[in-house]
């Protein structure tokens, strides 16, 4: 259980720090775009922000989903 909590804490801390760096770095971006969903469009966001948040969310979900595959050998 201790390993599981360490891994969850590390994953959340790492991805949160990446998101903070992304928000700080994207402040002066002028290229904006909209994302088309099935029913509506989003607000105009910088392209780097859209790509960065999709990378961070994929990293977060990928790491948290793989926690079930690591079983402790007894």
What is the DSSP track for 32-63? EE--B-SS-B---EEHHHHHHHHHHHHHHHHH
Full-model pTM: 0.71
Task: Determine which helix (DSSP H) or strand (DSSP E) holds 69, and give its type and residue range.
Answer: none
Could you tell me which of 17, 50, 53, 48 has the C-alpha nearest to residue 35? 50
Beta bridge partners of 41: 36
pLDDT digits (tens, 9 = 90+) for 10-49: 989 999 999 999 888 888 777 788 878 788 887 888 888 8
In whole angstroms, give the CA distance from residue 15 to residue 21: 10
């Amino acid at each position: 259980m201790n390993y599981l909590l360490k891994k969850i804490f590390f994953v959340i801390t790492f991805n949160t720090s990446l998101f903070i760096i992304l928000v700080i770095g994207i402040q002066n971006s002028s290229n904006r775009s909209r994302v088309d969903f099935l029913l509506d469009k989003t607000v105009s966001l910088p392209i780097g922000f859209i790509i960065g948040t999709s990378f961070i969310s994929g990293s977060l979900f990928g790491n948290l989903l793989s926690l079930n595959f690591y079983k402790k050998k007894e």
